[in-house]
Amino acid sequence: MFVKEQKQQVYIIGSKGIPAKYGGFETFVEKLTEYQVDKNIQYHVACMTENSAKSGITEKHFEHNGAKCFNIDVPNVGPAKAIYYDIAALNYAIALAKKNQDKQPIFYVLACRIGPFIGSLKSKIKALGGKLFVNPDGHEWMRAKWSYPVRRYWKYSEQLMVKHADLLICDSKNIEKYIQEDYAQYKPKTTYIAYGTDLEKSKLTKSSPEVNNWYQAKNIQLDNYYLVVGRFVPENNYETMIREFMKSDTKKDFVLITNVEKNKFYEKLKKETNFDQDPRIKFVGTVYDQELLKFIRENAFAYLHGHEVGGTNPSLLEALASTKVNLLLNVGFNLEVAGDGAYYWEKEELHKVINKFENISKKDRAILDNNSLHQVLRYFSWNLIIKSYESLLVGVNGEN
């Protein structure tokens, strides 16, 4: 009698969940399930109940993009909320896999938040014949927002996640190299699969009401602004970019799409730089309409990127796919992603770079635009990323 082979069951832990409204890991899980080609994989996605509620979903279990999703209630326990969520979600996933009698399930944990607790959880996974995969994300322990004790926790947690992982999937070659070098004593098994980005142009036009309303409300002109999109945190070098922009001779605006509400860093920076006295500096809040955000990127004069902590940054990939000229901080992460599709700046030289690019020719601008788009097409399209993940997930248990 012919017995149909069971699908590869993959449990994804660590994103806030899908449907995704925003966020790097959330978008990744959304695209991984939305663009799924290989039907021999069944995804199970942990979701925060409060995140699902934003999409009107109240059931404990629901389906989205063919993935079987389950909601986890998370109490408001302050900074430990994400740790609580990951532990509760992984425990629930293990119980589900046991109940379903899954054969060699994979548990894919995004980020290294639960290292001190992963030993006992790994034992449960092993008892099921399962495997633990981990995405180490970026250098969370280096982020300026954390106090010294919290940074020590992140570093220790990362160490234990590396120790217990059967495989670490790094979305940056620099992160993979760091894992191999810093944790050589564990002989970590790693692989590199990049983060992806959308290549479609915005469906909006110059005459779209959303476009007109936004540009008029913010007093911004098409193709007459430098743009940055990202979290307003010190390690993204907002202070450097603002100070250097203020030193430049450009008459164009500097448009910052970021959330600064109740942000101490914002108030500190305003006091120290007096950027509020420069009419070119425009904090315009967040933009959750993805089509509008894409249009804003496409019609910027240039994109500024100051991130220096972390792996493949989603906002950088989106800029490379959408914005004609990209001016990036000269660090390994950015060089790895953008290649010859961008121009690179040192922290004290950005104002000179801005002055230089004020008179960039249409030809040079077109070359940069073409190079950046080619870079994304070649290495970072979602179709390519999904194919890499599916090959890995379907093939991994066949190795044994």
High-pLDDT (> 90) share of the chain, %: 79
Shared-domain flag, residues 34 and 119: yes
Helix (H) or strand (E) holding 267: helix 264-273
Shared-domain flag, residues 216 and 360: yes
Residue 391 counted as domain residue:
yes
pLDDT at 332: 85
- The residue whose two tokens read 């300026």 is 144
Shared-domain flag, residues 167 and 23: yes
Residue 203 counted as domain residue:
no
Alpha-carbon gap, residue 127 to 122, rounded angstroms: 9
Shared-domain flag, residues 241 and 387: no
Residue 13 counted as domain residue:
yes
> Is the pLDDT score of 300 beyond 70?
yes
Shared-domain flag, residues 395 and 370: no
**What residues make up the domain containing 229?**
209-379
Shared-domain flag, residues 86 and 34: yes
pLDDT tens digits, 221-255 = 999 999 999 888 888 999 999 999 999 999 999 99
Shared-domain flag, residues 245 and 302: yes
- Confidence category of residue 315, pLDDT binned at 50, 70, 90: confident
Please state the domain count of the chain: 2
Shared-domain flag, residues 218 and 192: no
- The residue whose two tokens read 């801005």 is 354
Residue 327 counted as domain residue:
yes
Alpha-carbon gap, residue 28 to 15, rounded angstroms: 9
Alpha-carbon gap, residue 339 to 303, rounded angstroms: 15
pLDDT tens digits, 69-119 = 999 999 988 878 999 999 999 999 999 999 999 999 999 999 999 999 999
> Is the pLDDT score of 6 beyond 50?
yes
Taking the whole predicted model, whether its pTM rises above 0.75 is answered as yes
pLDDT at 139: 55
Q: Helix, strand or coil for residue 103?
A: coil
Residue 117 counted as domain residue:
yes
> Is the pLDDT score of 160 beyond 90?
yes
Residue 333 counted as domain residue:
yes
Are 336 and 174 a contacting pair, CB within 8 Å? yes
- Confidence category of residue 400, pLDDT binned at 50, 70, 90: very low
* Mean pLDDT, residues 35-49 taken together: 97
High-pLDDT (> 70) share of the chain, %: 94
Shared-domain flag, residues 374 and 387: no
* Mean pLDDT, residues 324-335 taken together: 93
Shared-domain flag, residues 366 and 392: no
Strand partners, 43: 10
pLDDT at 77: 87
Shared-domain flag, residues 139 and 213: no
Residue 115 counted as domain residue:
yes
pLDDT at 3: 42
Mean pLDDT, the chain, whole residue set: 92
Q: What is the CATH number of the domain that holds 334?
A: 3.40.50.2000
> Is the pLDDT score of 31 beyond 80?
yes
> Is the pLDDT score of 370 beyond 50?
yes
Alpha-carbon gap, residue 243 to 356, rounded angstroms: 17
Q: Which residue has the higher pLDDT, 301 or 20?
A: 301
Q: How many CB atoms lie within 10 A of CB 204?
A: 19
Residue 1 counted as domain residue:
no
Amino acid identity at 53: A
> Is the pLDDT score of 144 beyond 70?
no
Shared-domain flag, residues 179 and 60: yes
Q: How far are the Cα atoms of 15, 19, 190, 390 from residue 90, in angstroms, in the given order?
A: 12, 19, 21, 21
> Is the pLDDT score of 138 beyond 70?
no
The closest of 277, 363, 288 to 22, measured between CA atoms, is: 288
pLDDT at 147: 64
* Burial letters 288-297, b for 16+ CB under 10 A, else e: eeebbbbbbb
> Is the pLDDT score of 339 beyond 50?
yes
- Confidence category of residue 311, pLDDT binned at 50, 70, 90: low
